[in-house]
Amino acid sequence: MTDLCGLELKSGANSLSAFGDSSIQTPTKSRIRQGCHSAGPNVSGDHVYLGSSSMPAFPVLHRSNEEKILYSDRLTLERQKLTVCPVIDGEEHLRLLNFQHNFITRIQNISNLQSLIFLDLYDNQIEEISGLSTLRSLRVLLLGKNRIKKISNLDNLKSLDVLDLHGNQISKIENVSHLCDLRVLNLARNFLNDVDDLNGLSSLTELNLRHNQITSVRDVDNLPCLQRLFLSYNNISCFEDILCLADSSSLSDITLDGNPIAQESWYKHTILQHMMQLRQLDMKRITEEERRMASIVARKEEEKKRESHKQTLIKEKKRLTICNVARKWDMQQNRVAGGPSSSQDGKDSDLPSQEGCQMNGSGTSVYPEETGSLDPVITTALQGLAVIENHLVEVDGDTLFLYGSGALESLDRNWSVQTAGLVTTVSFTFIEFDEIVQVLPKLKIKFPNSLHLKFKETNLVMLQQFNALAQLRRIDQLTIDPQGNPVVNFTLWKYYVLFRLSHFSMQKINGTEVTQNDMIMAERLFGILAHVASSELPQYRLLSLLGEVRKKQFRYLLEGKGKKSGSVSEEGNDSKRLCGENTNRATLNYTTRDFYTEKLEEIKEKKKFCKTYIQDLVKEAAEINMKNESLQKLWPQLFIELVRDAVIEIRNKNSYMKLCLQRITDTK
């Protein structure tokens, strides 16, 4: 600070900067005391006398002529146990007035000091700013450590350069926008929660807000001259709460120590990244190495943020796709059932419900519980995300997730050996089981290590469908979700699975360990059924019920032998793996609806062909019979005519021979 009208304020300004939340020491105080002489017993060390006045409540201040001459522009009444401001007459030329460390409750009796530049009322009991309207020349006002609750009555102090209000009870920054010449504002140790309403302080260079309860800072970027900002020991927890600081081009020194944000690992790098013009942070000079490291960390954080953004978009797109698949599945089931699906009522699903998956016109999903938590940037990106996929394929760890019937086509991809080898679990969701059956041969080839199958919303409705799983290489675990699979409502379904797939020696069904007692019970329940199915039907009938692949396996089981060693094909390997599947169980096969429909069509075509063929044969036979009957009727007359012609021709032997020779000659 510069010298104000002959008053040396440099030491006072330094005190404010270095000790932001402490009192501003009265400038040249030592010089004032050195020049003062005792004027009476009431004021030790100063030639000042407080006498009585016409107003008993207010003492009157008197100074000797010599004192007035020597220190005509300054007066200190520090530590005088004053409860009111004394009447000061004949001192209109005063420029500095010090009332530090008293018990004054109200500012009064100084309205006549219109030349006053420096007023110090630190450490008193003042509750309201008042009595200053006539002090238009006042440049420094120190009201720290009082009981002031509101900033007010500063309208006429437009020349104010320093305003110290630290250590009060102020909860809001207000009524200061007109102080366009104010350079230093101290509001440390108050009750502030937010920083705003700072517009108009165009000359402010230092703002002290230490030891408050501040959670957010705004409008600081509108202070063109602000260089030093003290925000230590507040409740600032994230950089977004002070984001406006990054837009300030003049800010060079800032303190944020003592805030929750200062405990974060990214604190220093983030501050330096967004505020490159800073010279000091938390009273420590910033080095070039720190700036370089901050730049490196910033780049890494940006890459991490982009990756996180990408993953979030992928996740949202995945959720939208699953919702789309679920909605189409529900529509399909309702069409098949001829009305609303009864399973829709009261079902507990970990997938989003149809209502929760609705999309607005822009294609963005609406999740009531999560919409507000999405980052605005991500939300904007999702505006253009049109979910048209009706299936989803995802490999997560060792699990292959397939949603929607279209996902089955992914089994035809050229999966890498590494990816395919890692997959041990395959999950089917929103896919008809009959469609899954058709790709099981591909599954065992593409993913040879798959040991765990999961079915959810796959329309498993009867025990016979489990027969189709026997064609796989191996199954250790089977999970059938009750949702969309009515078969689990059957009491004995687990025992049937254990019986039919006993050659796999399954370990778990729906997460429950399979015991030896379970295997024995399964054999007791269904062993007779399988024996009857295999023994009562002739072999040709059994073969007609099996598919081509199962026919080969069945023949192998009946023959009880494989090919010679060294010439074993993949087909032979599969047959050997199925040796544990005995003949009885092999007869328990499953034919899909589509395959059955195809067979029906084929049978119809064969019947039609046979019928047509028989009809043609009958027609041809009828025609032959009619010809035969006609011949029988005509034959006697024909025979007579033949005999007659023969007799007539050979009656003249020589003529007949000539005629024959002539015919032969003509023929040649």
Read off the pLDDT of each residue in 181-208 and give the average, rounded to a whole number. Answer: 91
pLDDT of residue 213: 92
Label residue 209 by pLDDT band (50, 70, 90): very high
Q: Are 123 and 104 in contact (CB under 8 A)?
A: no
pLDDT of residue 648: 78
pLDDT in tens, 26-42: 443 333 333 333 333 33
Closest CA to 457 of 322, 288, 355: 322
pLDDT of residue 542 exceeding 60 = no
More confident of the two residues 122 and 595: 122
Residue ranges of the alpha helices (H) in 238-287? 267-274
DSSP state of 452: E
Structure tokens at 634: 């005509």
pLDDT of residue 73 exceeding 50 = yes
Structure tokens at 230: 């003290």
Structure tokens at 53: 């006045």
Q: Are 166 and 208 in contact (CB under 8 A)?
A: yes
Q: How are beta strands 216-217 and 228-230 bridged, if at all?
A: unpaired
CA distance 82 to 102: 5
pLDDT of residue 548: 53
Q: Put residue 67 in one of left, alpha, beta given phi > 0 → left and psi -120 to 50 → alpha.
A: alpha
Q: How are beta strands 253-255 and 284-285 bridged, if at all?
A: unpaired
pLDDT of residue 4: 40
Question: By three-state DSSP, how is residue 418 classified?
Answer: helix
pTM greater than 0.75 (yes/no): no
Structure tokens at 405: 């019937």
Structure tokens at 291: 């700036």
Structure tokens at 402: 């397939």
Question: By three-state DSSP, how is residue 605 classified?
Answer: helix
pLDDT of residue 33: 34
CA distance 474 to 467: 14
CA distance 27 to 468: 97
Residue corresponding to tokens 């004949």: 90
Burial class (CB in 10 A: 0-12, 13-18, 19+), 501: buried
pLDDT of residue 528: 80
Q: Which residues contact 609 (CB under 8 A, 6 or more apart)?
A: none
Question: By three-state DSSP, how is residue 196 classified?
Answer: coil
Read off the pLDDT of each residue in 318-329 and give the average, rounded to a whole number. Answer: 88
pLDDT of residue 621: 92
CA distance 534 to 538: 8
Closest CA to 499 of 522, 515, 477, 531: 522
DSSP state of 353: P
pLDDT in tens, 387-432: 456 788 888 889 999 999 888 888 888 888 888 889 999 999 999 9
Structure tokens at 261: 């944000």
pLDDT of residue 344: 42
Q: How are beta strands 74-76 and 96-98 bridged, if at all?
A: parallel
CA distance 327 to 350: 15
Phi, psi (5° rounding) for residue 96?
-130, 130
**Mean predicted lDDT score pLDDT of the chain:** 77
- Kind plus residue range of the DSSP H or E element containing 185: strand 184-186
Q: Which residues contact 560 (CB under 8 A, 6 or more apart)?
A: none
Residue corresponding to tokens 């997560």: 396
Label residue 380 by pLDDT band (50, 70, 90): low
pLDDT in tens, 220-277: 888 889 989 999 999 988 888 888 888 888 888 989 888 998 888 778 877 877 777 7
More confident of the two residues 10 and 107: 107
DSSP state of 212: S
pLDDT of residue 21 exceeding 70 = no
**Residue 494 CB coordination number (10 Å):** 20
DSSP string, 473-485: S--SEEEE-STT-
Q: How far is CA 500 from CA 435, 529, 575, 596, 624, in A?
A: 21, 11, 17, 21, 58
Closest CA to 318 of 480, 429, 431: 429
Label residue 666 by pLDDT band (50, 70, 90): confident
Burial class (CB in 10 A: 0-12, 13-18, 19+), 540: exposed
pLDDT of residue 24 exceeding 50 = no
Label residue 646 by pLDDT band (50, 70, 90): confident
Read off the pLDDT of each residue in 646-663 and give the average, rounded to a whole number. Answer: 81
More confident of the two residues 475 and 568: 475
- Kind plus residue range of the DSSP H or E element containing 535: helix 516-535
Closest CA to 125 of 150, 94, 153, 100: 100
pLDDT in tens, 555-606: 555 555 444 444 444 444 444 444 445 556 666 777 766 665 666 777 788 8
pLDDT of residue 297 exceeding 90 = no
